[in-house]
A and B are shown apart, each in its own frame.
Chain A
């Protein structure tokens, strides 16, 4: 085949002569079919305009349906008509020029000056229009210039008197080529008089096929309907003119022709009532076909539909690998994968055809397809030879692509291996939820089956789930164990967790370890020993856990004793053996996950995959056996907390009163960059936050001590300490107090004049009148407090609604503008047209996915390894 590169595309306006040359037939009659149902000669369905029946040949080019592209026809308009889309252009041209000589109504010298300016033509045209609009008479012929008015879309008035397309056309014809250039035209290609149509190009039948309904009645396309209208009026106008009808009637018909042609192009033209179908539905004409979400561009060209895809609800299954997707048998039996027959697999394929229903189609060497059925099986088995292809159903281990919308980043579509399972939903490992941003409250996901070896290989090498564990955005794990996973690991590795021999053996078995490690006590194993079975030999690590951070935050730890930490907050792994510390968010979590990151970069994706696989098997079981749960009694406060709370709230109110007093006196200290009122409000906010913080510290201190005891309860504290869910703040809200309500980073203020709600005193700016909430969720709030709380609650609700929408669109625009940037071989970032964006990708040339949190190497870690 002759291949050529398209260098450029030029869009132009077709001239009447070109229209006539393009057309295969001049349309003469408005009728489409005759009495017997045959297309009328010279009608809109004339077979010269293309074929839509398979088998028939085109009368113009002699080709069949598939080859014939269709041919335009033409319609000679009895009276010219303005093309509605060019109304504005015509107006500009009329504005700029003189109606008697056709020259631009600007003096010769001035024109020369403008011509020599170094600026784009658009700018020059603007200059000219500015001048001519003010001009009273033409400087070339001295005739008074007329005032042109456009009554959109197509009616023109000259000095308030209607001018008809014939006059407009004559006027435009007069404009000389040199002047047209100044108006932004290339007179070789486009002349403005072509905007006034004398010939209408009639689209081919292929663009407006008629449909034969089951009842045998033919139904025509909207475009055909519109064209019939146009032709009918055109003939009527012709008859009337020939019969010498009065001018008034002719003008009416002329306007009607204008209307039909306008709506033929765009049935949504402003100021023109849309043409209706008999049923009252607006017709879908040319512009409607292209425009908008359902238009040709967005619906058919950017949004092509694909075969070999499936969609279903997703459900979790932690017992399948992160690389797998559970595909329902019903779906798997419907999707197919082509497989090439070679001399090496010929036998197996014949066996598959013989023994199973898995082979659906057989493709011969010449490409002919044949359905495999009981009747054809025998024949096909004999015919099969290397080089043929078969199409078999989806089997375990086939590479598939899995996707969840909105596809905001590359991890929204990853490659997995299919695993045919019973049920009707797609099953996925909950670890892959994070990158897809999926949950199981009814989310649906799409599955695609690559059909070529290239496609499969590309998916496997570039998109395989296990290779995406490290985020290409921030260079730390994104495929992570979360929520129950982290809590489970935490509970398992807690100092106080002891397991019996039976339990231990069960867990080891689940992980594929068949021998128990040697221990002092044969009947009691620690959770750390079990967890160590997940780690590869030779792994050495030491870092601070999430517990450590919490302890420091609560002021419960001052000197770090490293692995001898009393609270078991320092993690140490020696030769793949967890010797101290708990496994929590710092080891497993998103963006931190030191353990996962180290495993990935030092042992590879397979090791992490195995780690996750085994961890999933035991973690859920640990939580079930040990029993992690929350209850109301957990949020009961004791006297110590109550005392602290009482004192703190009292202090808060006293201090607030002092502030208010100061505020009224006018000697409150200003905060830099704030007004007097703002400073006061800010101080009140800070006061409230400080009060809450004080109480929070005491609560957390108690909770942490409880958890670190020898026989801890497994409740919300586990979640907070492991970092899997919830925070000290949530706990304080439930147990102690809500504190200061806030709307837009300040105290709530809107409502009534000088007060927040009607029951407050006016001008009261104190804590209790400004939205301070003493109560907590356990006690329930007082009426006023409830309203304060609702004010803050509403803001949260509005924010989630607005920010997802706004940021979503913002991100989309950003992503679209960056999508075709690429990194060239000389490390530069370049746009699609090879313009340089950055001289060194990201200024440092680091690909985050292959980095350690954005840094090329983790120097501390490398030194640690050397010192071993």
Chain B
């Protein structure tokens, strides 16, 4: 998890997750991340959790991305 090539992953709190999903429409349209993904295993997230990924990109600096945990 503490590696420069692994961006910050975190589980979004239930309330906030609901708000974010509502903002972008349906949960089914969100990008996915596998439950088997090493980061997810480490985080001990459950199926259906919303994961916030914070990355550094060359064009925009800090960017936030969301993924829904799926099986």
Which residues of A line the B interface, CB within 8 A?
A: 826, 828, 830, 833-840, 842-846, 854
Contact = CB atoms under 8 A, between A and B. Distances in A.
30 contacts: A826-B23, A826-B24, A826-B25, A828-B24, A830-B29, A833-B29, A834-B26, A835-B30, A835-B31, A836-B24, A836-B30, A836-B31, A837-B31, A838-B65, A839-B24, A839-B63, A839-B64, A839-B65, A839-B66, A840-B60, A840-B63, A843-B60, A843-B63, A844-B57, A844-B59, A844-B60, A844-B61, A845-B60, A846-B59, A854-B59
Contacts of B61: 844
A109 to B, nearest CB: 27
Nearest to B30: A836
B29 A835 contact: yes
B47 to A, nearest CB: 13
Nearest to B57: A843
Contacts of B24: 826, 828, 836, 839
Contacts of B65: 838-839
Contacts of B60: 840, 842-845
Contacts of B57: 843-844
Given A837-B31, A842-B60, 7 more contacts: A834-B25, A836-B31, A839-B65, A842-B59, A844-B57, A844-B63, A845-B60
B29 A843 contact: no
Given A826-B24, A839-B24, A843-B57, A834 B29 contact: yes
Nearest to B32: A835
Contacts of B64: 839
B8 to A, nearest CB: 15
Contacts of A837: 31
A interface SS class: loop
Nearest to B65: A839
A834 B63 CA distance: 21
A837 B30 CA distance: 8
A836 B57 CA distance: 18
Interface residues of B, number: 15
B35 to A, nearest CB: 13
A691 B55 CA distance: 45
A851 to B, nearest CB: 11
A843 B59 contact: yes
B50 to A, nearest CB: 12
Nearest to A855: B59
Interface of B: 23-26, 29-31, 57, 59-61, 63-66
Contacts of A854: 59
Contacts of A840: 60, 63
Contacts of B26: 834
A842 B29 CA distance: 18
Contacts of B30: 835-836
A844 B63 CA distance: 8
A840 B24 CA distance: 11
Report the 6 A-B pairs with minimum CB-CB distance, sorted nearest first. Answer: A844-B60, A843-B60, A843-B63, A843-B57, A835-B29, A844-B59
Contacts of B25: 826, 834
A836 B29 CA distance: 6
A837 B29 CA distance: 9
Contacts of A833: 29
A838 B30 CA distance: 10
Contacts of A836: 24, 29-31
A826 B57 CA distance: 21
A836 to B, nearest CB: 5
Nearest to B28: A835
A843 B59 CA distance: 7
Nearest to A840: B63
Contacts of B31: 835-837
B34 to A, nearest CB: 15
Contacts of A828: 24
A834 B30 CA distance: 9
Contacts of B29: 830, 833-836
Contacts of A838: 65
A839 B29 CA distance: 11
B71 to A, nearest CB: 9
A845 B64 CA distance: 13
Contacts of A834: 25-26, 29
B49 to A, nearest CB: 17
A830 B66 CA distance: 14
Contacts of B59: 842-844, 846, 854
A833 B29 CA distance: 8
Nearest to A831: B29
Contacts of A826: 23-25
A843 B7 CA distance: 15
A845 B59 CA distance: 10
A489 B64 CA distance: 47
Contacts of B66: 839
Contacts of A839: 24, 63-66
Nearest to B63: A843
A836 B27 CA distance: 10
A843 B57 CA distance: 8
Most buried by A among B29, B31, B64: B29
Nearest to B59: A844
A161 B30 CA distance: 56
A844 B29 CA distance: 21
Contacts of A842: 59-60
